């Protein structure tokens, strides 16, 4: 079994704005200093309180984003591919397709960053009613494609030999 998640860059891009926002209290302190307002009564307590409030809000949002990222996963087993999508905290969908139903697997890598950091989309066309699967922004998409192809070949060989079990090329792990 292999678990495939989106590339870490996706999480980084989604949270970059939050990291920039986290610097806002410093900017506010600088502005207050420039306007000579840092001598106002209760400036330090209010700065401490406001910063704590601000950081906590950002911290909570970061973990909501991380949860959405972490719980979005594709699981490739020797029998099927399972697509678990966490849309938001209260919306989640799961779909799956059997390995033998896969007709074609293609890889798309778009852009400089995707090429440089080696991530892209893996599109899976199936013959069944489950339609097409797209594994979005996965790391090392060519390796994922190879894993699916090898698994498909292994299962085809197994069927030809009348169900005799052959060792799976899938090693347990996370891609």
Partner 1 sequence: MLPFQLNDLLRLITPNALGAVFALMTAIFAAVSWVLLYHWSRYGYNPTMIGRMRALYFWGAGVCFALMTAGILLFES
Instruction: Give me the residues that bind partner 1 (CB under 8 A), please.
Output: 3, 35, 37, 40-42, 44-53, 55-57, 59-60, 63-64, 66-67, 70-71, 73, 84, 86, 89-90, 174
Q: How far is the CB of 52 from partner 1 (least distance, A)?
A: 3
53 or 156: whose CB is closer to partner 1?
53
Nearer to partner 1, 19 or 111 (CB): 19
Smallest distance from partner 1 to CB 112, Å: 30
Compute the 3-state secondary structure of the chain and give helix, strand, coil in percent, each to the nearest 5: 45, 25, 25
| Residue 41 exposed, middle or buried by CB count within 10 Å (0-12, 13-18, 19+) | exposed
Q: Are 4 and 74 in contact (CB under 8 A)?
A: yes
DSSP-based three-state secondary structure for 77: coil
Query: What minimum distance in Å lies between the beta carbon of 71 and partner 1?
Result: 5
* Residue 75 or 107 having the CB closest to partner 1: 75
Answer positive or negative: Cα dihedral of 71, 77, 83, 84: negative
Output the smallest distance, CB 96 to partner 1, in A.
16
Q: How far, in Å, CA of 57 to CA of 55, rounded? A: 5
Of 68 and 140, nearer to partner 1 (C-beta) is 68
């Amino acid at each position: 079994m292999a678990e495939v998640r989106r590339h870490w860059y996706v999480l980084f891009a989604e949270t970059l704005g939050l990291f920039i926002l986290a610097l806002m209290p410093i900017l506010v302190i600088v502005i207050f200093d420039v306007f000579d307002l840092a001598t106002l009564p209760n400036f330090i307590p209010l700065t401490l309180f406001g910063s704590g409030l601000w950081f906590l809000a950002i911290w909570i949002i970061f973990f909501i984003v991380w949860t959405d990222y972490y719980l979005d996963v594709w699981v490739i087993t020797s029998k099927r591919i399972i697509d678990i999508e966490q849309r938001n905290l209260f919306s989640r969908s799961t779909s799956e397709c059997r390995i033998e139903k896969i007709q074609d697997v293609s890889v798309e890598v778009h852009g400089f960053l995707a090429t440089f950091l080696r991530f892209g989309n893996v599109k899976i066309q199936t013959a069944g009613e489950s339609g097409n699967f797209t594994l979005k922004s996965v790391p090392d998409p060519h390796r994922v494609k190879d894993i699916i192809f090898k698994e498909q070949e292994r299962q085809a060989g197994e069927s030809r030999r009348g169900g005799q079990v052959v060792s799976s090329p899938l090693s347990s792990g996370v891609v």
